[in-house]
Amino acid sequence: MVLDDLGSSLRGTLDRLQGKTRLDEEDVEEVVREIQRSLIQADVEIDLVMELSDSIEQRALEEEPPGGTTARDFVLRIVYEEMVDLVGESTDLPLEPQTILLAGLQGSGKTTTAAKMAWWFSKKGLRPAVIQTDTFRPGAYDQAKEMAERAEVTFYGDPDADDPVQIARDGLAATEEADIHIVDTAGRHALEEGLIDEIQEIDAVVEPDRSLLVMDAALGQGAKDQAQRFEEAIGIDGVAITKLDGTAKGGGALTAVNETDSSIAFLGTGETVQDVERFEPNGFISRLLGMGDLKQLAERVERAMADTDTDEEDWDPEDILEGQFTLKDMRHQMDAMNKMGPLDQVLDMIPGLGGGIKDQLPDDAMDVTQDRMRSFDIVMDSMTEDELENPRSIGASQTRRIARGSGQPEERVQELLEQHRMMERTLKQFQGMGDADMQRMMKRMEG
Ligand code: GDP
């Protein structure tokens, strides 16, 4: 997303302040110009850009930097605080029984977000149900049902009915045992009267505790208008921003939040039900500014590990430390990596790595890696238990058999074995490391 550029361009400007303890007017102007340029490029509405940059400028010139702070850290803190202030607190979503209505234009990601939110609530120990009332978009029913199944939550929809208001009513009655009701509505391509009327009728029947506007991060200047219309029609309590994993600019969503005086509830970062994050202003802005977000990274790693542990009965991490690194171990690692999300996002969360490492990689390096992981997985499905445990025993005839069985070229099998040898070698080096070395390495990563 283009808002990410704010981080790297700002870092560039701030680096020029390195060593300074006081800021002069020229420094402040330069920083403010840089911020304005990045925000405008990210499609943040111009009035909002001016408002934000004015307060940053004013504070940077008027406030005294606390003793011992460098000029660079001082400015960074002001920018950070002002941005956190702009996006505001996360939408209040207590972990208790409630009904949530999702509104938005077609394609904004409502159906996907409904399933993601259901998944998120279910991980918090609640029993969510998704109610699909979109009778307008062909395929909405099947898609919603399939995603709800993947999220392992209750689903209600009626592919033969054509009255969304009735479906909503029936759906609430049919899913009484659930404690969170997420009602997905139909979108249209644009803000037609029909859409607004329909959502008002559903709103009247459902009587939601909260209404969330689902908004594509790619939405630019149109965001303000859209947000206003939905706000007038049903009242918006929060925004779920989707497709933040793509090349979207992200600025429109900020504008919408500001316009409706609401807040951000969730962030969608991919197409699967798990690609959702509860919005957390400090983490979000830290990430935008390239300051890293350790807390979120730790959570993701933990979640990936917990998910992965359950489906491998005989996997023992101790074995790796004792020097045996089998293909099963490697698969386990790959699974965990996959569940953490796209590698580039994971890298973004490591402080100090920020743009640096990614800038050195070719654009498609991350995708290739994930595609390769998927094909490795297919190859391993065609291996015997013994081969997975003792990859070194795999010779030419087995390679041919595995390739045939998995429908993958023989080179892919060889590549997998090579990758395994490489990881094994790397691990051997780690085994020689003491705690002190580890700590030194972590320090270096923290920058
Ligand atoms: P709806 O018409 O508002 O219900 O939108 P959908 O939920 O069908 O989403 C439209 C498209 O966007 C689908 O292809 C989704 O897979 C995709 N999508 C939704 N959320 C995300 C996201 O966070 N990231 C990515 N990459 N794609 C998403």
Q: What is the pLDDT of residue 355?
A: 45
Fold of 294-446: 434 Repressor (Amino-terminal Domain) (1.10.260)
Rounded distance, CA 79 to CA 76, Å? 5
Instruction: Please give the ipTM for the structure prediction.
Output: 0.99
DSSP state of 66: P
Which alpha helices (DSSP H) does 260-389 contain, by range? 281-288, 294-310, 317-321, 327-340, 343-348, 354-360, 365-381, 385-389
Output the CA 158–ligand 1 centroid distance in Å: 21
Q: Does 171 carry a binding-site annotation?
A: no
Span 23-75, pLDDT tens digits = 788 888 988 888 888 778 777 788 888 988 999 999 999 988 776 667 777 78
| Residues flanking ligand 1, CB < 6 Å | 104, 106-112, 137, 143, 187, 242-243, 245-246, 268-271, 275
In the reported structure, the alpha carbon of residue 271 is separated from the centroid of ligand 1 by a whole-number distance in angstroms of: 6
CATH, range 2-87: 1.20.120.140
d(CA 403, CA 166): 53
Per DSSP bridges, beta strands 264-268 and 276-278 are antiparallel
Give CA–CA dist 166/408, Å, rounded.
50
CA distances from 70 to 22, 23, 30 (A): 8, 9, 17
Give the residue, out of 150, 241, 242, 269, with the most ligand 1 atoms within 8 A of its beta carbon, to mutate for a pocket test: 242
Beta strands in 157-263 (DSSP E): 180-184, 210-216, 238-242
Ligand 1 atom nearest to 276, measured from its CA: 23
Contact 169, 209 (CB under 8 A): no
Its pTM stands at 0.64
- Dig out the tokens for 363 from the structure: 């654009």
Cα 363 to middle of ligand 1, angstroms: 23
Backbone angle region of 250, left / alpha / beta, with phi > 0 → left and psi within -120 to 50 → alpha: left
Q: Is 7 among the annotated ligand-binding positions?
A: no
Is 184 marked as binding a ligand? yes
Task: For residue 368, count other CB atoms closer than 10 A to its CB.
Answer: 11
pLDDT for the residue 165? 94
Nearest CA to ligand 1 atom 16: 271
Say yes or no: do domains 2-87 and 294-446 share a fold. no
Ligand 1 centroid–CA 202 distance in Å is: 22
Domain boundaries, the chain: 2-87, 98-286, 294-446
Write down the CATH number for the domain with range 98-286.
3.40.50.300
* Residue ranges of the chain with per-residue pLDDT less than 50: 1, 293-295, 310, 312, 351-357, 363-366, 445-447
What pLDDT, on a 0 to 100 scale, did the predictor assign at position 261? 79
